[in-house]
Amino acid sequence: MSDEHGGQLLSLAWQLAHFPPMEQEKKPDRFNPRPAGVIREGSTSDVVLQVLKDCGGFRTEAQLIWITKRSHSAVSWALIYLIRLGLVESRPDTVRNSRYQKYRAARAKQ
C-alpha cells in the first residue's frame, strides 16, 4: 500500500510526531442548582436541623422520623450529612444500647 507521501503509508506514530495537537475549547462553567454543602429549604436535612434546634435536647432517630414524617432513609442520610457539616452532634444511647445514637443540634462555639 502506498500514498502520495513518498509511497509509504503514514504510521500513527509519524502522524503524532509531525502534527501539532489540537487545542480543545474550554467549556464554560455550568450553573449547579444544588451545590455541595448547601442545605435547601424544606429538605429533610433542613427539617431535621430545625426540629433539633427547636427541641434543644437529644432525640433518637425514631423520634425524628415520627416528628418530621419523613422516611427512615431520608432522616438517616440527613443526620449523616449534618454530623459531617458539624451542625449536629451525637452520643450513644446508653439506656437502650450503645449501637443506638441520640442527636442534638451542635452548640455554637464561643
Residues 38-59 pLDDT 10s: 889 999 999 999 999 999 889 9
End-to-end CA distance of the chain: 80
**From CA 84, how far away is CA 37, in angstroms rounded?**
10
pLDDT range class, residue 65, cuts 50, 70, 90: very high
Residues 68-87 pLDDT 10s: 999 999 999 999 999 999 99
Residues 24-33 pLDDT 10s: 788 888 888 8
Q: Do the beta carbons of residue 49 and residue 105 sit within 8 Å?
A: yes
Q: Do the beta carbons of residue 79 and residue 90 sit within 8 Å?
A: yes
**From CA 44, how far away is CA 68, in angstroms rounded?**
8
CATH of 44-105, one of 1.10.3720.10, 3.40.50.12140, 1.10.10.10, 1.10.357.10: 1.10.10.10
